[in-house]
Amino acid sequence: MANERLRSALHSAGLTIDQVSDRAGVDPKTVERWISTDRVPHRTHREAIVAMLGKPEGFLWPSTESEARTQSASAAEFVALHPSRGGIPAGTWTTLLDQASESIDLPA
C-alpha cells in the first residue's frame, strides 16, 4: 500500500525524490520505498522529512502515533504548551516555583 500523504506532500512542496534523498541523506530508492510500500523511515529521517515539508509526523506516518517510543519522547519533551507566559495559569506558576529544586530559567 502506498503512502499517498507523503507522495502528495512532496508534490505540493515541489520536491523530487532525488532532492529529498539528498537532504535526508539516504538513497533515492529508500525514499521510493517510503512512498510506494508505506515503509516508515527511522526517526532521524522522519524528522528531516517533517522539517522539509512542514507537515506533522503523525499525518505523514499515522502508524507512528501509536509507537511507544515516539509517545514517550513527546511526553518527555513537552508537558504543556502555552502561547505566552501570560497564558500560563497562576496555579501552574505557584506549583513550578514551589517544586523547583535547583534553578528557574525563563527565556526572554
pLDDT tier, 92 (very low <50, low <70, confident <90, very high otherwise) = confident
Number of folded domains that form the chain: 1
pLDDT tens digits along 9-49: 999 999 999 999 999 999 999 999 999 998 899 988 999 99
Within a domain: 105: no
Give domain status of residue 22, yes or no.
yes
CA distance 72 to 24: 24
Closest among 23, 59, 26 to 41, alpha carbons compared: 26
Which domain covers residue 48, as residue numbers? 4-81
* Residue 81: CB atoms within 10 Å: 6
Identity of residue 46: R
pTM: 0.59
CATH of the domain at 30: 1.10.260.40
Across the chain, mean pLDDT equals 84
To the nearest 10°, report the CA torsion of 38, 71, 78, 101. Answer: -150
Please indicate, yes or no, if residue 30 is contained in any of the structural domains.
yes
Q: Looking at residue 29, what is its pLDDT?
A: 96
pLDDT category, 69, cuts 50, 70, 90? Answer: low
